[in-house]
Amino acid sequence: MYDVSGVFRFLDKTITDQYERQSKPPKSNDQAVKRNVEALERLLSELNLRCDVRSPEVLSRLGNLTMNESKRSIISPSLRHQQKEDQLLRHKRNSVLAEQLVHQRLRAYDEPPGRTVRTRSKKQKIIGDVHAVPFGCDKRGDSEDGYLRLCGACQAIRKLPDEFFPPFINEVVCDEDKACLYFYDYPHGKCKQKHMNFVVLKNVGTPQCQIWEKFNLNVRVSCECFVDEMSFFSKYV
C-alpha cells in the first residue's frame, strides 16, 4: 500500500512553497484538486497501476485532503524515531538535574548555619592526580632578570577525573623548602601556596546521559614569600 495522502501533502507543500517565494496568491480548491488528480495519474502510471481517479468518490476524497492545511515538513520514520529518542534523553537529563537540585536544597535546609560556614571556609581537597614536570623547578636564590627568587616553585600538571573537562590543568606548586628571606641562617618569611578559582565543567550525570555543570576548581598558581610580622624586615614591606 502506498501513502497517497502523504504524496498529496508533499505535492501541496512543494507547490505552496514555490508560490510563496514568488509572492503569488494561493490557488483555489478546485485548482488544487485538479493538480492532485493529474499528479496521481502520473504516479499510478509510473507504478503500472490502473485506477479511475476521476470518479466522484475519488474526487470527493481528494477535495477533503486538499482542504486540509498542508504540513510544513515531512519527517521520515527514522527521523521521527531519532526525535523521540532525543526527547526521552532530554527528559532524563531534566529529571536527574531536578532530583539533584532537590537534594541540594534539602541538605541546605537540614544543615545548621554554623556547619555551613565551616564547610565553606574549609580548603578544597586536590582533585585528580598531580604529575611534576621534569626539570620544571626554580630553586630559591635563582637569578631572573636581575632579581633573586625568594621561594622555590615547580611546574606541575594535574590530571582531572574523567567527569571533568578539560582533562588537564597546569599548576605552579611550592617546592619542598617552605622558608624564605634568610638572615644569618634564620628564615624571616614563609613560602605559601596561592590558589585561584578556575571554572571547569563537571559531568553530574552518567556517561550515557551527560549533564555538564560549571565547577569552581581550586588551582595552585604561585608560591609567594610572606614576611613574619614580628621580623624587623616587616617595616620594609
CATH number for the domain harbouring residue 163: 2.10.90
Position 222 scores a pLDDT of 94
At 109-154, the pLDDT tens digits run 555 554 444 434 456 788 999 998 888 899 999 998 999 999 999 9
Q: Could you tell me if residue 204 is inside a domain?
A: yes
Q: Could you tell me if residue 59 is inside a domain?
A: yes
Position 168 scores a pLDDT of 95
Q: Could you tell me if residue 224 is inside a domain?
A: yes
CA neighbor of 42 nearest in space, from 19, 65, 69, 8: 8
Indicate whether 196 and 134 sit together in one domain: yes
- Which residue among 24, 48, 67 closes a domain? 67
Indicate whether 174 and 231 sit together in one domain: yes
Q: Could you tell me if residue 205 is inside a domain?
A: yes
Position 221 scores a pLDDT of 95
Indicate whether 153 and 210 sit together in one domain: yes
Indicate whether 62 and 85 sit together in one domain: no
SS (H, E, C) 89-156: HHHHHHHHHHHHHHHHHHHHHHCCHHHHHHHHHCCCCCCCEEEEEEEEEECCCCEECCEECCCCEEEE
Q: Could you tell me if residue 172 is inside a domain?
A: yes
Supply the range of the domain harboring residue 20: 4-67
Cell of 18: 514555490
Position 6 scores a pLDDT of 60
Give every residue of the chain whose pLDDT is below 50, as ranges. Answer: 1-2, 23, 69-71, 114-121
Indicate whether 231 and 136 sit together in one domain: yes
Indicate whether 157 and 211 sit together in one domain: yes
Indicate whether 130 and 115 sit together in one domain: no
Position 41 scores a pLDDT of 78
d(CA 133, CA 128): 16
Indicate whether 165 and 213 sit together in one domain: yes
Indicate whether 110 and 132 sit together in one domain: no
* CA atoms in the 13 A half-sphere facing the CB of 132: 11
Indicate whether 115 and 131 sit together in one domain: no
Indicate whether 130 and 232 sit together in one domain: yes
Q: Could you tell me if residue 72 is inside a domain?
A: no
Separation in Å, CA 14 to CA 67, 70, 161: 16, 10, 52
The count of domains in the chain is 3
Position 133 scores a pLDDT of 87
Indicate whether 133 and 232 sit together in one domain: yes
